[in-house]
Amino acid sequence: MVAGALTPAEGLRVIAIRSRLMARMAGQGAVALLELDADAAARLLHTLPGVSVAGLLSPRQTVIAGPPLRWLRRSPLCSSKTGSPAGSTCR
């Protein structure tokens, strides 16, 4: 495991500890995939307190992360026709 740095037993222990730690964090954050380039996503983030870019997947796909975003679907940022901000996935 980990290129020979850990024995299989040590690797399983690390996985178990990480799983317990991650379970404590469940429900405390969210991610969303935006079909926006990095500049457009940055402009959008000014309207979303506590949310930041988590990853740039492609020139027109940006992942954001922050507090739970359940309200995003009802936000004016999501168009009523597509349910998405500027063509992004609101789920």
CA 62 from centroid of its chain's CA atoms? 9
Domains of the chain, start order: 29-87 (3.30.70.250)
* CA distance linking residue 9 with residue 17, whole number of Å: 12
Tens of pLDDT, residues 34-88: 888 889 888 888 877 888 899 999 999 988 888 876 656 555 555 545 445 555 5
* 90 pLDDT above the threshold of 90: no
pLDDT of 7 > 80? The answer is yes
pTM: 0.57
